[in-house]
Amino acid sequence: MITPKERYLKTLPNGTHWFAAEPGDGGNEETRLVVGVASVDLPRTGDKGNLPGLWLVLAVSALGAARLILWLSRQRGKNFVK
């Protein structure tokens, strides 16, 4: 087991860091270390999160895309009639 010293951990910026351990037998093991993000509330299995907000953004985007397609088709029709 490898334990980094606290003074070394304090030199790392907040975020995720990857460390590679290479034992003498030729293997390679990568380990993730997260520094300074203990206040992040990660979603748990079954959490809904902000699904209503995401559905609203999706619906508004779909309506905007449909309106743009409709407008473009009408503009194209006007150009061919003349």
Q: What is the per-residue pLDDT for 68?
A: 93
Q: Are residues 81 and 54 in the same domain?
A: yes
Q: Is residue 40 part of a domain?
A: no
Q: Is residue 43 part of a domain?
A: no
Q: What is the per-residue pLDDT for 9?
A: 77
Question: What are 69-81's pLDDT values in tens digits?
Answer: 999 888 887 765 4
Q: Amino acid identity of 82? A: K
pTM: 0.39
More confidently predicted of 35 and 18: 18
Q: 30: buried, middle or exposed (CB in 10 Å: 19+, 13-18, 0-12)?
A: exposed
Enclosing domain of residue 58: 50-82
Q: How far apart are alpha carbons 26 and 62 in whole angstroms?
A: 53
